[in-house]
Amino acid sequence: MKVKQTKGTNLPGAWIINPKDKGRKSIKGDKIYLDNGQEFEIEIFNPLKESVLADIRLNGNSICKTGLVVNSSFKPIK
């Protein structure tokens, strides 16, 4: 999996989750290596005001042809 992420606290982020213990591994580099047969979940968070497009690749192949739209989780203060 390759992740392009810039530094900052209010930017989109991604984590690898172990579904058995819900432990989170932050994705900070370009690739994450897992053991063969290891189950995982991907958590994506977008705090921006606009939607972003995520291109998730497994073993060098995109998981979908068009990418995954991650809607904004921004909630304006009233």
Domain that holds residue 62: 13-70
Rounded to two decimals, what is the model's pTM?
A: 0.66
pLDDT tens-digit series, residues 11-54: 888 888 888 777 777 776 677 878 888 888 888 889 998 999 98
What is the separation of C-alpha 66 from the centre of its chain, rounded to a whole number of angstroms? 16
Answer whether residue 40 is part of any domain: yes
| Position 61 in a domain | yes
- Count of domains in the chain? 1
Q: Is residue 30 a part of any domain in this protein?
A: yes
The model's pLDDT over 46-74, given as tens digits with 9 standing for 90+, comes to 999 899 998 888 888 898 888 889 998 77
Q: Residue 31: inside a domain, yes or no?
A: yes
Does 34 fall in a domain?
Answer: yes
**Residue at 7 is within a domain:** no
Instruction: State the virtual CA torsion across 32, 33, 35, 36 in degrees, nearest 10.
Output: 100
Residue 6 resides in a domain:
no
pLDDT of residue 1: 42
